[in-house]
Every structure is written in C-alpha cells, then in structure tokens.
Structure 1
Amino acid sequence: MVADCYRREALINQALPAQIPAPRLQWMEEQDGWVVLGFEAVDGGRLPATPWKPDELTATLDSYTITAEALSTPPARLQHAGIKPVGEDGDFADWRNLARGATPTNVLPSWMPLDLLNVLAGLESGWREAVVGNAVLHHDLRQDNVLIDADGAAWICDWNWPCLGASWFDLVLLLATAYADGHDATCLFAQHPTSRGVTAEQLDAALAALSGFFLTYGGRPPADWSPHIRQHQTWCGEVTLRWLADRRGWTF
C-alpha cells in the first residue's frame, strides 16, 4: 500500500509543470517490495515554524498562487496519470450519517453540541457542488507538506493525492492550520486569488465536509500502519469545525 503511494508520487511529480515550486524527483529505486524516491535538495529546506510565522505563511500562500495558476486546467501529462475529480471514490457524508444515526455520535468530541448535527448535515450536503472544478488540486496541502528554503520561499511537497476540483479547496485545510495558530483564516482566504467569486456558503460547505470526515475517522480504532494518524485526524476535524463555528457565530 505505502509502496504504491510512492510509485504514484513519482509519476505525478514528473508530470508537474516546470513553474510549480516543488522539489523534483531525481531517482527512484525498487527492491524486494521497497520503493525509495530521491528528490532534489531544497537549499536550507525546513518545515515552517510552529506556530505559523506571518512571512512563512505568506510565502506558502504565494507559492500556492503560482501552483494554482499552473494547474488551473490539467496539463496533458497529468491527464495521462488518470487524475479523478474530488469525491469520485467516495462522498463526504459523515455529518449526514451522524444525523440519521448510521454512525454513533461517540466518535465526536465531548464538547460537540449534538443539536448542530442537522445544520452541519445540511451544510455538508452542498460540498460537492461547492468545490466542483477542473483544476488540479494538491489535495493534502498541510503545513508539514511545505518546505521553506534559505531565501524564505516555500516549496510544496508530497504530491501523492492530486485530484480535480476548485483550486480554492486546497486552501481550506492549509488555512485551518493558520486558524489554529491565531491567524484570521477567513480574511486570508478572501484575499487569495483562488477564492475570487467563492461564496461564504461554499466555504462553509467545504469546512463542514472536512470537519465531519476528520472527526469521524479520528474516532476510529488506532491504525497500526500509522500510530498517530487518529490523533492528527481528530485535530484537523476540531480545527476545521472551530473555524466553521467562528464563521457561523456558534459557541461551544
């Protein structure tokens, strides 16, 4: 399973347009079921500081502007890689499943008001229409998938899961991490070029979809293939839900 992910990353990385700020694959080796990828070194490359520093967050948003422009329509080489629309392999229906009792509510944090389930289910139901598009998305644009180089520029890494959709959908999870660190994520979203024309309801639908997905998966039993994945998923779910709550004026 993991080896297939690395094979996929190698295929996608080699198909990325030249202007995208991403480290490029230099070599790949396979032996006895193991896959090793070697990427070009990023001079002085390091993860962004935690909490986000304003200049590093700005650099990352600028790099995503370049990326989104280059991928506003799927380049031929990426089309040949078989990139699918977001949600083609499954729906974000977690709040709806919780609201109708198909998923037990004990997967949710204790502070989550259950009287919001129907409201969240309603918001979530609009996610697919909200994020439809033909742009190529990174689809995992998190703080730990970014490197800051010696000059302060940001490089976007780990191109395992690209899909097709609206470019702004990539910003939601990235800016959720900024929200967690005290930044005005809604303002930063509105200022980004990819958000042009996006309504408040579209953003809220995306936040509902992501929060339900992460909270539900975070409540599953531990995964032996990644011992900290459930903790990370729960954190992502709580952050996206709190950002949504802040936007809707909900108090937990």
Structure 2
Amino acid sequence: MTPAPARAPSAETRFADAFRGWRLLADAHRRGEDDLTGLDPWAARCLSRLAAREPAWPAAVHGTTLAHADLRADNLLLTHDRVVVVDWPWACTAAPWFDLLLFLPSVRMQGGPPCEPLFAAHPLARDADPDAVTTALVAWAGFLIRQGRQPAPPGLPTLRDFQTAQGVAALEWLRTRTRWQ
C-alpha cells in the first residue's frame, strides 16, 4: 500500500525508543550490569559493530508504504479465498520491504526456511538497498534479542521466549548478510 492509504506515524517515530537494543545491551555490559551470559557467542563478539551500525536504521527504513509492523502467524487469518491481516496497533509508514523483514524471522522460528532466500526471492526485495536491509535487520535483531533478555511483563509469561526465538532466527539471517566473524 504505497503511498499509505491512511495516516500513520513513520517507522522512525514508531520505533525510535525500541530499536536501540544493541546499544542498550552494550551500555549495560560496559557498566557491568550485564555480563552477556546466554547471549549468542557471535552477537557477543560483534556487539560493538552491531551497536555502531544500529543508529542508521531510521534512514534505512524510511518510506511511504503502510506497514503493519507486527506480522506473525497469530495476526494472519486465513479464509477460504484470502489472507486477512489483523491487529494493527503498530501501523506505520516505512520502506516497502519493512514488513517482510520483520515477518521472516517469525516464519523461520516456526520451522520455515532460512530468511535470506525467502527475502531475496520476494518482489518487494527486488529494489531494496542491501545495506539498508542489513541495517534494518541489525535494529530488528537487537530489539528482539534485548527484549528476550528482559523480565516477562505481567500476564505475558511466554513473550520473552517468543522474542528470543525470533531473535535467534534474526541473528541467523544477520550472520548470513554481514558475513562478520
């Protein structure tokens, strides 16, 4: 839906406080508040690079497409002839590929194929700037990984495990894209 048929905040505005997971994790580690126990070894080795790349995400995802920004299996209803997307509280405007990028780690987490080939084969990825995609993926993975390390919010005991599982899939994809050692 480009341009967005409804008014919505930009992804930059919507996620300004959320997409700083690597920076927050690196800051907590420097202060001695997080010893990185349980963090993926690759993410721990690359933490400073991830934190340094993360601030570029707003420019990377800028766009005029209406994005759901929370696509996952429980927000999709299958009817006999179509798919209905429900639960739109995170709607925003973003790059055309933004929803696809946020969705694919959830697909992988639930047993789907690796994210990179799915993304590359999708028409929305055809014109996507590879550096912008990688930068956005850095921010998304950082959000998921950091959130997964937080205490469970009241009434949502499985949320952190869900975020961690998506984060693991996002990290797998990120390692493929960056080829960082």
Partner of 1:188: 118
Partner of 1:128: 58
Rg comparison, structure with higher value: 1
- Residue pair 2:10, 2:92 contacting (<8 A) in 1 also: yes
What is the Cα deviation at residue 72 of structure 1?
0.6
What is the Cα deviation at residue 85 of structure 1?
0.8
Q: Deviations over 1:163-186 (max 9, x none)?
A: 111121100122122334251422
Find out whether 1:220 has 2:145 as its counterpart: no
What is the Cα deviation at residue 108 of structure 1?
6.2
Bigger mean CA deviation after superposition, 192-201 or 176-185: 176-185
Q: Which consecutive unaligned segments of at least 5 residues does structure 2 have?
A: none
Partner of 1:158: 87
State the SS of the aligned residue for 2:11. Answer: coil
C-alpha change, 1:111 and 1:139, in structure 2 (3 Å) is closer
The whole-number CA distance in structure 1 between the counterparts of 2:123 and 2:163 is 28
Pick aligned residue for 1:98 from 18, 21, 25: 25
- Residue pair 2:114, 2:173 contacting (<8 A) in 1 also: no
C-alpha change, 1:227 and 1:221, in structure 2 (3 Å) is same
Partner of 2:9: 84
Q: Which has the higher contact order (CA 8 A, sep 6+)?
A: 2
Q: Which consecutive unaligned segments of at least 5 residues does structure 1 have?
A: 1-70
Find out whether 1:167 has 2:96 as its counterpart: yes
Find out whether 1:176 has 2:105 as its counterpart: yes
The whole-number CA distance in structure 1 between the counterparts of 2:126 and 2:166 is 25
What is the Cα deviation at residue 96 of structure 1?
2.0
The whole-number CA distance in structure 2 between the counterparts of 1:103 and 1:218 is 19
TM-score in terms of structure 1 length: 0.62
TM-score in terms of structure 2 length: 0.83
Q: After the TM superposition, list the runs of 4 or more consecutive aligned residues in structure 1 that deviate by more than 6 angstroms.
A: none
Q: Deviations over 1:90-131 (max 9, x none)?
A: 242221233343684446634334221111113322211110
The whole-number CA distance in structure 2 between the counterparts of 1:105 and 1:240 is 21
The 5-angstrom pairing of residues 1-252 of structure 1 reads: 71-75=1-5, 78-79=6-7, 83-89=8-14, 90-91=16-17, 92-100=19-27, 101=30, 104-106=33-35, 109-113=38-42, 114-151=44-81, 153-180=82-109, 181-250=111-180
- Residue pair 1:95, 1:121 contacting (<8 A) in 2 also: yes
- Residue pair 1:108, 1:215 contacting (<8 A) in 2 also: no
The whole-number CA distance in structure 1 between the counterparts of 2:102 and 2:127 is 19
- Residue pair 1:107, 1:218 contacting (<8 A) in 2 also: no
The whole-number CA distance in structure 2 between the counterparts of 1:103 and 1:223 is 24
- Compare the two structures and name the one with the higher helix fraction: 2
Bigger mean CA deviation after superposition, 242-251 or 125-134: 242-251
The whole-number CA distance in structure 2 between the counterparts of 1:103 and 1:163 is 36
Q: Deviations over 1:170-209 (max 9, x none)?
A: 0012212233425142222123222232122211111110
Bigger mean CA deviation after superposition, 161-170 or 190-199: 190-199
